[in-house]
Amino acid sequence: MKKFSLSILFGIISILSIYASSEIDFPIIDLKCYNKRPADGIVQLGPRTLVSSPVVYQDNYNLIFETSGFCHSVILIDVQTDEVVYETIVTESTTQISLPEYLEGEYEIRFNSDRYYYYGNIEL
């Protein structure tokens, strides 16, 4: 009986270690959600809103999406000048994009979809 219990315990430990090693260890970009309302501008969604922000990891100049298809474009805005310095189209199946390595500094990043846009700050 002890051998059986130990084999189950080792099996559970090995499954948990495989699961833990498959997680992404990069920092998550803290994103907030805005609702695009054509009639009255853009409104920030409150804390009780059911829309959850997507999970996007940053690995230096690479952005890794936990789920694809949540946006159709990515925009970087220089926080010092409020100028758009980079913009790219994102396809439905995109799971990762690489930002230009010549960019340095702090930027606001926006992920645009049809109804919402998600934004946060990143350092490059």
Note whether residue 19 is domain-resident.
no
Compute the distance between CA of residue 53 and CA of residue 70 in angstroms, rounded to an integer.
9
User: How far is C-alpha 14 from the geometric centre of its chain's CA atoms?
Assistant: 29
Domain that holds residue 55: 25-123
pLDDT tens, residue by residue, 65-124: 998 888 999 999 999 999 999 999 999 999 999 999 999 999 999 999 888 889 999 999
pLDDT of residue 114: 83
Note whether residue 31 is domain-resident.
yes
Does the pLDDT at position 6 exceed 50?
A: no
Note whether residue 16 is domain-resident.
no
Note whether residue 110 is domain-resident.
yes
Which residue is listed with tokens 């969604």?
45
Note whether residue 36 is domain-resident.
yes
Note whether residue 18 is domain-resident.
no
pTM of the model: 0.70
Q: How many folded domains does the chain comprise?
A: 1
pLDDT tens, residue by residue, 28-65: 999 988 877 655 555 555 544 546 788 999 999 999 99
Task: Pinpoint the alpha helices (H) of 22-97.
Answer: none
CATH of the domain at 113: 2.60.40.3080
